[in-house]
Structure 1
Amino acid sequence: MADADSPLFRFQLWRANLPPALRVLLTVNLATYLAYVLLAFFGFFGVPLGQFMVDWLTLPTSWEVALTRPWTVLTYGFVNAFGGFFGLISFVFGFYWLQWMGRDYEESYGAHRLFGLYVMGALGGAVVGLALGAVLPLPRSEYFGLWTPVTAILCAIATLHPTRGIGLFLLGVVPMKWIAVGFVVISLLFSADLSVLGAALVGVLVGRAQQAGSDPAAWAAPLFGGRIGRRPKKKTSRQTVTASRSKRSSSSRSSSKTVGRDAAPALDVDEILDKILDKGYESLTKEEREALDRASRD
């Protein structure tokens, strides 16, 4: 069995415990950032591979140049060309926000919705960024990074749960709607990133569509097993009575089950990780997921 205290084991445990869409998005973003850092290192020896990556995968602010690289309207949202110490800080915060809000959104609404929202946020940000860049002078020459799609996720959550409070350092508990507004304003003031406006618009529209019962990200469902999340139906009176009887029956057996759970052998975390690699996170039972959570907290 692997050493439970090793950084590699803890990283594998953390990654295995991620929901599927978030695992893909975080892995791609981390890989592109590490690739950029490595290629930038080669630049010190006269090999400009990092600049080649920037030129061909980030989105030019000029629509004339962007027309010659049409793939960049999507790739820029996955490419993290953050250089220097402050670039590292920006990436770390963006990575954390994606993990934090992405997990919340995916566990609430489904894997395909998170992935679809990320992609649509990048595309919407590209359209608005190029349109505004055609009429406004910009101090930057390209758009890149995960912050634009993260803005779409933030604004979608703020639309669905505008009054949900989030505790912020020195500010106390702030409703999600004001966090979203403040984030967009700060992004415009400090980075001149007009693509966040398009991503914010996409997030609001997707949130409104979900409130109306539609699914703009249904196209992404086949990527995650074809299961499209649906709102839970209201229980009928017959279902309510059945659920009530079931609850009373289960509570009467709780004492004996408690003894059984305490006596059950601990699940092997390595076996759970192997199961995730073979069949995916969704194949885990409730007990196996709880075992992963306990191991990650130890």
Structure 2
Amino acid sequence: MSITNDIKNAFIRRDNALSQLIVLNVTVFVLLIVLQTVFHLSGIDASYPNLLRQVELSSSLPVFLRHPWTLLTYAFTHLIYYNGFLGGVTHLAFNMLNMYWFGRLIREYLGDRRLVSLYILGALAGAVVFLLSYQLAPGFQARIGATMVGASGAVLAIIVAAATLLPDYTFMLFLFGQVKIKWIAFVLVIVSIVGVNGGNSGGNLAHLGGALLGYIFIKQLQAGRDLGRPVQAIGQWLGKVFHRTPTMRASTNTTTRRTSADGMAARTRNPEATPLQEEVDIILDKISRSGYESLTKEEKQKLFKASQE
């Protein structure tokens, strides 16, 4: 099977958001390397920055207003153009590995749609902080025109969201052993704060914008408010536009007979339904016997749903 077919198949499944985000980031990275090579061989290297201007976020307000889509495209773009091949690969690998580790938790407990919502909202929050910093902070005025690429702000939103949702969940880290993810998130936030004083000040501020969004997202979700609904609504609309399904005919009698049974089955399968106290007690007993990691995906979702009530 060809690489293009593998990529296509990754996007066919509707319950594969984490893989799709990673594949999209890697695909853009490889595509930009190929285009840079083509530009070089064609003797038009000077035109390559014009191409990058279409995807990277500029701190210059006039440039941004001419390229408003970069408010989001920058978060899917990793480059070797500025930092060399090793720097570009390291940047991509660090972001994708962190998104895979922490994104699995978000996907498992909150579902694919909220994972995508977190990524998109984290990217937007990082972009807004980046732009405002250069427009309002006196220390940035001399550097207006700097650009930003990378998924770090969006990924840090996912990391902090996971740590807010499951602070005592542990990862096994080389040389450190088992570490609670709240401490991993804390260290990454501190690194970004320290980084504000370095050469990538605007980028690190964008990371902090994403981190704040991740924290607020989970706190609002626990309060019963899903900040990702606008993103999900847009995604559903785009899905209908690009995946139109043919109209199916069904007899009135068949539809009437199946309505009651289908409704009951849907309620049985619906993980969003409020779990009964008996179900919660059984789940808690299972945790006390075998530990939290022994729960199934459905049991974890039920436990999270019960915590919101």
Higher relative contact order (CA 8 A, sep 6+): 1
CA contact (8 A) 2:78 2:91 kept: no
C-alpha distance in 2, partners of 1:140/1:184? 25
Match of 1:32 in 2: 28
Superposition pairs of residues 79-94 of structure 1, within 5 angstroms: 79-82=77-80, 83-94=84-95
Q: Is residue 192 of structure 2 the alignment partner of residue 169 of structure 1?
A: no
Q: How does 1:184-223 map to 2 (within 5 A)?
A: 184-188=189-193, 189=195, 191-192=200-201, 193=203, 194-222=205-233, 223=235
Indicate yes or no: 2:274 matched with 1:233: yes
Equivalent in the alignment of 2:165: 160
TM-score after normalising by structure 1: 0.67
Map 1:1-298; keep pairs closer than 5 Å: 15=10, 19-45=15-41, 46-48=43-45, 50-82=48-80, 83-134=84-135, 135=137, 136-137=139-140, 141-188=146-193, 189=195, 191-192=200-201, 193=203, 194-222=205-233, 223=235, 231=272, 233-236=274-277
Supply the distance in 1 between the matched residues of 2:58 and 2:216 (Cα, whole angstroms). Answer: 25
Name 1:261's counterpart in structure 2: none
2:59–2:131 contact (8 Å) kept in structure 1: yes
- SS of the counterpart of 1:124? helix
Greater CA drift, 199-208 or 66-75: 66-75
In the comparison of the two structures, how many residue pairs are matched? 235
**Separation in 2, partners of 1:99, 1:14:** 19
Given the superposition, is the C-alpha separation of residues 181 and 61 from structure 1 closer, same or farther in structure 2, using an over 3 Å criterion? farther
1:234 is paired with a residue whose SS is coil
Unaligned runs of 5+ in 2: 241-265, 283-309
Over 3 Å counting, the alpha-carbon distance change for 1:85 and 1:139 in structure 2 is farther
Output the CA distance in 2 between the equivalents of 1:159 and 1:32: 30
Greater mean deviation of Cα atoms: 106-115 or 17-26: 17-26
- State the distance in 2 between where 1:42 and 1:13 align: 24
Gaps of 5+ in 1: 244-298
Once the two structures are overlaid, the 10-residue window that deviates more, 181-190 or 28-37, is 181-190
| CA displacement, residues 128-167 of structure 1 (integer Å, 9 cap, x when unaligned) | 1111122133598111112221111111111111222222
Distance 1:31 1:175 in 2: 32
Query: In structure 1, how many angstroms separate the alpha carbons of the residues matched to 2:179 and 2:277?
Result: 37
Which digits, 9 at most, give the CA deviation of each residue in 1:180-234, with x for residues without a partner?
121133245264312111111110110111221221112344536899x865523
Q: Which amino acid aligns with 1:38?
A: V
What is the root-mean-square deviation in Å for CA atoms of aligned residues?
Answer: 3.4
- TM-superposed CA distance for 1:8, in Å, is 6.1
Q: 1:76 to 1:106 in 2, by over 3 A?
A: same
